[in-house]
Amino acid sequence: MSETTMPTVEAGAFREAMSHLASSVHLVTSDGPGGRAGFTASSVCSVSDAPPTLLVCINRTSSAYAAVSGNAVLCVNTLSGEQAGIAGAFGGRTPMDERFAAAAWGELATGAPVLEGALAAFDCRIVARHAVGSHDVLFCEVVDLSEPGGGEGLVYAGRRYHTLPVSSPASPAPARKTDGLLGAL
């Protein structure tokens, strides 16, 4: 089938289908000459472990875009099951200062804000970026890590938040049946 006759998918249908994917939820934060900013993200994934690299997709219309781009560093704070509230605050329409006032923060190597109580924090420098449609795909080399936590992770699926046991090596999560998340997908 040639490119001209290939069918296209309507954005709403794509989003409806994508709402069936379960993803971890993260706060992507940045600070530096471009200012402090952050947004809730689910489009995060591991790329390579040599060197350790992950990717983040950011909408160029996001209010955090200029700061993240200008600073060229960011931290991916992977949220725990109790942090759905802060995910909502960073999910848009909240002034940036109010977002950061809602939690306690530290920092690692780059100075990007590190969320206290996050399951994990990946402190990164942006090493490459690729514009695709409405988003930039940011390729980020991980230069520092927080001590991973344990307990439950925050997951987004079916347009709502769920929690899922995530055991840390030190303390495996107690065996228990899932909370029905897999059945809800």
Judged by the rule CB under 6 A, the positions of this chain that interact with ligand NAD are 15, 18-19, 42-43, 57, 59, 134, 159
Give 138: exposed, middle or buried? Use CB within 10 Å, 0-12, 13-18, 19+.
Answer: buried
DSSP bridge partners of 156: 23, 161
CB of 7 to ligand FNR, least distance (A): 26
* CB closer to ligand FNR, 63 vs 168: 63
CB of 138 to ligand FNR, least distance (A): 10
Residue 15 binds what, of ligand FNR, ligand NAD, none (CB under 5 to 8 Å, by partner type)?
Answer: ligand NAD
Q: 140 CB contacts (<8 Å, ≥6 apart)?
A: 53, 54, 55, 56, 74, 76, 122, 124, 125, 126, 127
Please give the Cα distance from 177 to 121 (Å, whole number).
27
The count of other CB atoms within 10 Å of the CB of residue 16 is: 11
63 binds, among ligand NAD, ligand FNR, none (CB under 5 to 8 A by kind): ligand FNR
93 binds, among ligand FNR, ligand NAD, none (CB under 5 to 8 A by kind): ligand FNR
Residue carrying structure tokens 């759905």:
84
CB of 28 to ligand FNR, least distance (A): 8
Binding residues for ligand FNR (CB under 6 A): 25, 39-43, 57-59, 62-64, 91-93, 156
